[in-house]
Structure formats: C-alpha cells, structure tokens
C-alpha cells in the first residue's frame, strides 16, 4: 500500500483501529515532551514514541519495565 502522507486523518481512521484511540502528536519532539511529562507524573510508567504510518503523526506506547 503506498504511503499517503497528505491524506486527511479522518479518512485514515477507518482502518486505523489502534491509531484512532491514541493521542496524536505532530512531531517527534512533541511526542517525547508529552512522554516525559507523563513519566514524571507516574513514576513507574515507561513510554516510548513511534511514528505512525496511518496518520503520519507520532504516538506514545507503553514500554514494559525491565527488571
């Protein structure tokens, strides 16, 4: 499937099941700032950011803690 970076997000949401429920950030910097903020609020939370192919935005994903 060709990647369409300029398609409006609402069209992509039809098949972007996981993406739809997640908060979207416009770039990596915003996503990382949000992740750091949430990790400050919740000490045992580990988040990482990833680029989403469906909405061309960035999402946070929970990262399992390594013990």
Q: What is the rounded distance in angstroms from the CA atom of residue 36 to the CA atom of residue 13?
A: 27
Give least dist CB 39 to Zn ion, A: 21
Give least dist CB 66 to Zn ion, A: 26
HEC string of 29-65 equals HHHHHHHHHHHHHCCCCCEEEEECCCCCCEEEEECCC
Comparing CB distances to Zn ion, the nearer of 31 and 52 is: 52
Give least dist CB 26 to Zn ion, A: 11
The residues that touch Zn ion, with contacts defined as CB under 5 A, are: 19, 52, 54-55
């Amino acid at each position: 499937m060709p990647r369409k970076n300029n398609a409006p997000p609402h069209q992509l949401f039809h098949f972007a099941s996981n993406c739809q429920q997640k908060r979207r950030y416009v770039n990596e910097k915003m996503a990382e700032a949000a992740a750091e903020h949430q990790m400050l609020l919740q000490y045992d939370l580990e988040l990482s950011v990833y680029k989403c192919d469906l909405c061309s935005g960035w999402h946070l994903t929970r990262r399992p803690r390594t013990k």
